[in-house]
Amino acid sequence: MQVTQTYWLEHAWLDTHVEPGVAVTVSGGGSAAGADGRVTDVRTGVDAPPPGAEILRGLTLPGLANAHSHAFHRALRGTVQVGSGTFWTWREIMYSFADRLTPETYHALARAVYAEMALAGVTAVGEFHYVHHAHDGTPYTDPNAMGEALIAAAADAGIRVTLLDTAYLSSGFGQPPNPHQRRFSDGTADAWAERCSLLKDRDHARIGAAIHSVRAVPAGQLATVARWAEERRAPLHVHLSEQTAENEACLAAHGRTPTRLLADHGVLGPRTTGVHNTHLTDEDIALIGGTGTGTCMCPTTERDLADGIGPAVALQRAGSPLSLGSDSHAVIDLLEEARAMELNERLRTRTRGHWTAAALLRAASADGHAALGWDDAGTIETGALADFTTIALDTVRTAGPVPRLGAETAVFAATGADVRHTVVAGRHVVRDGAHTLVPDVPAALANAVQALRS
């Protein structure tokens, strides 16, 4: 029997403005994570909750999409903030945690991380997944045991996932993987494609592809990954020009920038998203924008790793849709990512107002979902997936502004700690600030991280 539920939203952001008193009817949801619950009706001007309605007080937004995640990096929080260094010294610490992962420990950690995301209003995550095999590079009996652990973790935490299964074949421009990277590599892009083809979509999960970087996939094999994604009309993501050292090495090896190399091998296009896109030439920006390739900015990680500030304004003007990710999970807070993208640009240019609050919310919701292949999510409208999140307007951060400025309050004052409810497929995953499926998220995080340290 089909289940119908009405939610009454005290205030709702409807893409362009905040509307008071909105009744949203959801049909088709179920108890399984990611079941296909959809919005069947949106009524405005509903001053009081209809009988039997679930009441969401505060400002309800479409669910947030975390378009770039490495779940196991959450275990590094705090540890990598000790001392100084660069991306490359950070990477050595990251490898030490990757070395210890098993399907069981990865499931436990990812379940807790995805629950943390739900508490921060995230309803879909793009998991850039490259830890495929056992420590010595030997495939597990199920060659996708690690990916399946992540898919199961998302279901257990009640959110959607796009598993961006990642080709990672080289330590740098044709060099063999180093000992830490052996478990990342399938040997060749053809072997990667064969393994990846065993993964299947399900209600809460979609399968996409990723090229780790131009240094990690030999140029002659880039087209294999791009073709796999194209044949399935699946999203394709790639770390792009995150580091100047990578740009310099690419120029030395191929005589062209990473962006040009990707373009020459058919990687760029409207289903492709470049992650970071930090150190770009004017030609790179034109190539990315002209092909409709997306840009996923991860400001909290980019500043934590001292990577630099990417040219997000120029990229968007050139035609590149923007999305947001928490990447290494220095913090998990998509509102902070949205705010940081604007504030970084203010620091660089010494001018204000590069994006409206509405534009930043779209990057965190509809455009992020589109980058992950969930084109039917990220809006509160008839036919959309019934995924939304509610921010309290009565906390020490959000109290005071009038409700019609709720979008500005959410982006420029609120944090993930102000999320009161998260609904996925029409069912409460977070209710009154508590996760309904993972009873003690802090303990789950602490236990999962400790297991990787012992």
Read off the amino acid at residue 79: T
Of 344, 345, 380, 343, nearest in space to 362 by CA: 380
**372 within 8 A of 124, measured Cβ to Cβ:** yes
**Whether 348 contacts 41, CB under 8 Å:** no
Helix (H) or strand (E) holding 196: helix 189-196
Give the integer Cα–Cα distance in Å for 221 and 141: 26
Q: Provide CB contacts within 8 A for 424, sequence distance 6+.
A: 33, 34, 37, 63, 118, 123, 158, 159, 160, 386, 387
276 is catalytic: yes
Distance, in Å, from the CA atom of 386 to the CA atom of 403, rounded to the nearest integer, reads 23
Going by C-beta distance under 8 Å and a sequence separation of 6 or more, which residues neighbour residue 343?
none
Q: Write the single-letter amino acid at 68.
A: H
* CB-neighbour burial class of residue 432 (10 A; exposed 0-12, middle 13-18, buried 19+): exposed
Say whether 167 sits in a helix, a strand or coil: strand
**3-state DSSP assignment of residue 401:** coil
- 4 CB-near residues (< 8 Å, 6+ apart): 25, 26, 27, 40
Q: Which amino acid is at 353?
A: G
R_g of the chain, CA atoms, integer Å: 21
For residues 3, 114, 412 and 389, what is the CA-based torsion angle, rounded to 10 degrees?
A: 10
Check the CA dihedral 239-370-327-230 and report its sign: negative
CA distances from 290 to 67, 173, 395 (A): 21, 27, 43
- CA-to-CA distance for 11 and 88, rounded, in angstroms? 45
Catalytic-role residue among 276, 279, 329, 428: 276
Q: Which of 186, 327, 367, 387 is catalytic?
A: 327
Tokens of 18: 């905040």
**Amino acid symbol at 197:** S
250 touches 208 (CB < 8 A): no
Taken as a whole, the chain contains a residue count of 454
Q: Which residues are catalytic, by number?
A: 276, 327
